[in-house]
Structure 1
Amino acid sequence: MMTDGSGRTASLPTPTGLGALSATEILAGYKRKAFTPRDVVDETIAALEATDAACNAVVTPMYEQARADADRLTKEMRNGEVKGPFAGIPVTIKDLVFVAGVPAYGGSPLNKAFVPDVDAAVVSALKASGAIITCKTTTCESGYKLTADSPVTGTTRNPWNLDRTSGGSSGGAAAAIAAGCGPIAIGTDGVGSIRVPSSFCGVFGLKPTFGLVPRSPGFSPPSWASLAHTGPITRTVADAALALEIIAGYDLRDPASLPLSPRRFDTKVVPLNGVRVGASVDLGYAAVSPDVRAAFNKALAILESCGAKVSMDGPGLDPGILEHTLKPIAFTEQAAAVASRTTADLAGSETDYRDVVSAGRHYSGTEYIEAGYRRGQARTAFLKLFERVDALVTPTVAVTAFEAGRLGVDRIDGIAVDPHLGWSPFTWPINLAGLPAATLPCGFDRDGMPIGLQIVAHWLDEPTIFRIAAAFEEAQPWSRFWPPLALREQGRARAKA
């Protein structure tokens, strides 16, 4: 059982709607003819509407098209014509990812009239698999921060506590998954934007190896150009593996795309005997809240009970990596994304976003290249680490979800931190290295807010992440725990599934 930071057992009943089912449960239900895609989509839309009213998670509904797609698939299923591996599975798409004919605001007032005429590669892959796109979900402007608040959509809230942030920038995606609005969400992650909201909302989030999932045709502006990954947010490890099998692939339009054959991922639970896990609660320099430290230590004990050989080890990164490596790269790339825009053009943007762009414009080319050298040193540090261990585990975020509407926190356990990125010191180093990483729930703080455990593996070693995550999920079944918002009546009884 999962416990909060004080050691109390956390327990919640299960929502009843079909939207709360996992993808594997939905597919099994279709096979048994227990319900139809139209049944699932109707209840998923009802859950999305209720969640959006409370959390502000949806930017652009695509409900009529979703119902039409569901009706078509329902007819095809009755005729035995459905072949796609995700046929009838509802999926949400973060608003930084193109869906042809649907606005892509990306949280920016600059994009209020922008409607792409092409699907992103991941959307094309999902449509080809039979998935049903239900809506676009909220993000901050150009994905620049780790909440999903923006001048376009306002504040996105956490279904565990509506006074708290969902995290971001894939905040609407994570909030919707946590609240039972379908099993799969597509997010993006430049400095932690899949893992932070997944941690804050108590769900599973995966940032694949850089280049494994194509970003083409990308988003305009192409912020976090050398840092951003696209990946799934789900409630179960198995669903994330299924989604990754579909969206991973080579695409010439993305110069970072890796020319790899289709991959399959096994999430069968097996003992972790022989798996060497390095563990670091602070990477040697990070401030971490006491509740997160406590949950992390308990998670290590669980991994050991699963058979893993846990040792305190880490990459030994430069404590100045945020200021001297990440910011010159990330902020310059943010500034480059709006290089043609004037100060007047950005007048409708948030002050914090304008500050990031301004900082990026003031870094010199020399500083950007020097940061790239230091980035290479960080990559080497991870290479050496993975000679000693098979995976690294850390807290996902140094704190739990804070008040909605804030940029971040500026102190952790009495220690001053950068309010933009300092409270998430474990996520963005992994983006600098391009490594795969996932977050999964490992407990709750004293206020009942979720805490995440980050698992990092060698490049293209997603199988090790899935193996560890599946074993942890079996020992610590977080998907049985639901935020209060998800417990509203959602229609058809889960027992029908």
Structure 2
Amino acid sequence: MTSSDDTTAVSSDDVTDVCYAPATTLAADIRRGERSPVTVVDAFLERIDRVNPEINAYVTVCEESAREAAAEAERAVERGDDLGPLHGVPVAIKDLNRVAGVRTTFGSPAFADHVPEEDDVVVSRLREAGAILLGKTNTPEFGRKTMTDNPVFGASGNPWDPNRTTGGSSGGSAAAVAAGLAPLALGSDAAGSIRIPSSACGVVGLLPDFGRVPAGPVRSDAFQEILPYTFFGPIARTVSDAALMLEAIAGPDASDPYGLPEPTESYQEAAREAPDLADLRIGYSPNFGDFAVSDAVSSAVESALEELSAAGATVEEIEVPFEGSWEERHDAIEWVLQSRYVGLYENLKRDADVDLLTIDEPITPEVRSRIRAGLELDTSTLATARRRRTAVYDAITASLADVDVLATPTLGRTAFGLDVTEPTVDGESVHRMHGWTLTWPLNLSGHPAVSIPVGFDDDGLPIGMQVVGDRLADREVVAAGAAIEDAIPWADAYPPTAIGGDR
């Protein structure tokens, strides 16, 4: 993985052995009794205490319960108990996911003191796998924005430059992993919210098949996750680590009507047995139809693809046969998101006696504007959105007909300043939320993908490449991602916060 001179100033020898160790290594060492879960958790908590004030990745740290869980995990190892795949491995949970007994705010002043009584299914599965919950990570209010800030906790800073955005909405999770504050973190993605911050922060964000990781059980509308397709998945430093976490959380649950059957093959094996590059066919779409992409991003992605080609992969530039304009496709995702937020609005009125349009709390303007726009939608507009979603699905599926995976930039540009409200791409004005993110078409179509770091710009800011697979081919996406990662290693590149927050 290529890097600017400033970025390579930190070597792996300077980084804490525990906090930047792969999750797969931590899990294996703990199982063998070669690492203590107590020592591991203590190392992360100490690092959170030292580094988090600089980047605001965590909004709630579960110090006491994490230490208690670590002590019990150590006793389980000593007893020779059967251990889960994540036994003793710390994880971070996005503040949109409910954790029983832990403040879960959704980034909203209306829920600043909310403490759920029940875990989300995905959180329960992490606990059952033996993971230790370190805390909750920052998110924009109700996940509304592609930047991570909210009226309760403020903004998260990018570990590569705390004055720049992490992206969103899983920005706190991606920042925590990038800064060595967690080996694994949970994200959710309705328009790119796993992949956007993963690209901006230089980590791996995995979007498994829709329905692979169940939603629920606490929800008023079990069918809302198709408006648009909303994915739950891992954020990690390597594809193998993401595969380890995905294996622990994948599988159907009765609360989720869209749950896919239990995976029949191992994601970890897919990562370990990555295909020979000579057998990998990559279709490259430079701008995923008609997105604006900066010269720096294009150069990094194309350099990575040239390396893959030189190593034996077949790389060919292809055109994704989208119908209509960018604006027409974007209208489709905006309309379904508006409809979803009307559901959120009505559910909160009914279930929590909270009216987001009338309460005095400083609700994010984008949340209120999306609700108001949604209240004006008609059925004809939603029918148009469905037709356009169908065309997007058909176009992406067609582009995968003669290749194994489709590669695009994840973002059109690198992370911009926290004070920027109207980001541009090489000076070109774009839609402030979605014009610089090449992610949301997959939330219309439901295709699996992974964002992998492939380089840096001249300011030392990470650049990611999005690798897309066919429907129901998330295992193949993992395998291709691991093969690409092997050819373009990057995991020894650390942000300035890797040395304790000193810049």
Structure 1 and Structure 2 fold alike (TM over 0.5): yes
Report deviation, 1:474: 1.6
CA RMSD of aligned residues (A): 2.1
Q: 1:12 aligns with which of 10, 13, 16?
A: 10
Deviates more, 1:306-315 or 1:152-161: 306-315
**Corresponding position: 1:431 with 2:429:** no
- Aligned counterparts of 1:171 and 1:218: Cα–Cα separation in 2: 23
Report the counterpart of residue 281 of structure 1 in structure 2: 286
Report the counterpart of residue 391 of structure 1 in structure 2: 405
- Aligned counterparts of 2:379 and 2:311: Cα–Cα separation in 1: 48
Report the counterpart of residue 365 of structure 1 in structure 2: 379
3-state SS, counterpart of residue 52 of structure 1:
helix
On the 8 A contact 1:87/1:130 being kept in 2, the answer is yes
Report deviation, 1:207: 1.1
Deviates more, 1:480-489 or 1:236-245: 480-489
Q: Kindly tell me the number of residue pairs found equivalent between the two proteins.
A: 486
**Corresponding position: 1:244 with 2:246:** yes
On the 8 A contact 2:30/2:87 being kept in 1, the answer is no
**Corresponding position: 1:443 with 2:448:** no
**CA deviation string 1:266-297 (max 9, x = no partner):** 21244222322111111231111110011011
- Aligned counterparts of 2:372 and 2:421: Cα–Cα separation in 1: 17
TM-score by length of 1: 0.93
- Aligned counterparts of 1:259 and 1:100: Cα–Cα separation in 2: 27
Following superposition of structure 1 onto structure 2, how do residues 59-458 of structure 1 map, counting pairs within 5 Å? 59-217=59-217, 225-261=227-263, 263-265=265-267, 266-268=270-272, 269-317=274-322, 318-319=324-325, 320-339=327-346, 340=349, 341=355, 343-345=357-359, 347-409=361-423, 411-424=424-437, 426-458=438-470
TM-score by length of 2: 0.92
Report the counterpart of residue 495 of structure 1 in structure 2: none
Report deviation, 1:223: 7.9
- Aligned counterparts of 1:241 and 1:292: Cα–Cα separation in 2: 26
What amino acid maps onto 1:388 in structure 2?
D
Residues 1:342 and 1:463: Cα distance change in structure 2 (over 3 Å) = closer
What amino acid maps onto 2:464 in structure 1?
G
- Aligned counterparts of 2:46 and 2:264: Cα–Cα separation in 1: 35
**Corresponding position: 1:477 with 2:489:** yes
- Aligned counterparts of 2:342 and 2:99: Cα–Cα separation in 1: 25
Long gaps (5+) in structure 1: 491-497
On the 8 A contact 1:98/1:219 being kept in 2, the answer is no
**CA deviation string 1:103-150 (max 9, x = no partner):** 221111222243222111111111111111110111001111111101
On the 8 A contact 2:109/2:361 being kept in 1, the answer is no
- Aligned counterparts of 1:342 and 1:477: Cα–Cα separation in 2: 46
3-state SS, counterpart of residue 476 of structure 2:
helix
Quote the sequence identity (%).
37
What amino acid maps onto 2:50 in structure 1?
A
Report deviation, 1:396: 0.4
- Aligned counterparts of 1:84 and 1:9: Cα–Cα separation in 2: 36
On the 8 A contact 1:16/1:489 being kept in 2, the answer is no
Residues 1:9 and 1:155: Cα distance change in structure 2 (over 3 Å) = closer
Report deviation, 1:347: 4.9
- Aligned counterparts of 1:10 and 1:463: Cα–Cα separation in 2: 32
- Aligned counterparts of 1:262 and 1:66: Cα–Cα separation in 2: 33
**Corresponding position: 1:468 with 2:470:** no
Report deviation, 1:253: 0.7
**CA deviation string 1:369-399 (max 9, x = no partner):** 2101110111111222222221100000001
